Amino acid sequence: MNRDAARALLRAWDTQQDAYVAHREQRFTVMLETIRLHLGTGVRVLDLACGPGALSDRVLTGLPGSTVVALDYDPILLEIARGALPADRARVLDVDLVAPGWESSVGEALVGEAPLGEASFDAVVSSTALHWLSPAQLLGVYAAAARVLRPGGLLLNADHLRYTTPTLRAVAEQHDAETQRAAFAAGALDYDAWYAEARKEPALDALAEDRAKRFADRPPQLDAPLDLHLAALRTAGFAEVGTVWQYLDDYVVAARR
């Protein structure tokens, strides 16, 4: 789609997501700084469930010399990401992370370019996305990520990892509600309203039926707490796991291959 229209929708996406994630820009900064400090700037990054390209855009801006392979399964978000991200540094691919062996399909799509296989990427990143996966699916994604990361490479996943204790869960939920009220009062779109705005673009509206079919059998999953993510990363073969940022129940989980 038209680059200006795609960039406008990406900016609106950022405003919408800021309503749901307090200090969202700070967690992006921490992710980029962790990559820079450990790996440098000229890195090859795999962005899982990239959406319209918000995190990929920041990687390309904040890490000079970097390149990104960005994956998603939502055809509307994919079309925006393709329009918004620079084609000379980013490849945007239609990939279902739930499908077994999805990393092989990425390799097939990149034939003739930098090869994909063992140790193909310096970093794997994701933001506010993997909570849609079941525990078994999450483990599968982490295991595949470990296979395509080079030794010493990093995985960074930013997401709400809900508290299991009732008092802290209530505090975090109250904070989320206050953040959303303030953002919506200031004019931010909510999630559904943003999609409605995106569908005003004829090229995106034409993809709505396909999107509905793709996600018809994808019910929301139970909240996965931090401990589950750390255990899954260890099981997937990562040598070190931990967190590099936290604000209430919003974390950036980090793992070294």
pTM confidence score: 0.95
DSSP output for 104-172: HHHHHHTTTSS--STT-EEEEEEES-GGGS-HHHHHHHHHHHHHHEEEEEEEEEEEE---SSHHHHHHH
From CA 188, how far away is CA 197, in angstroms rounded?
12
Block mean pLDDT (10 aa), the chain, length 257: 96 98 98 98 97 98 97 98 97 95 81 59 97 95 96 98 96 98 97 98 98 92 93 98 98 98
pLDDT of residue 108: 72
pLDDT for res 93: 96
CATH domain 3-256 topology:
Rossmann fold (3.40.50)
Domain boundaries, the chain: 3-256
Question: In the prediction, which pLDDT does 22 show?
Answer: 97
Contacts of 80 (CB under 8 A, 6+ apart): 1, 6, 9, 10, 13, 52, 53, 198, 204
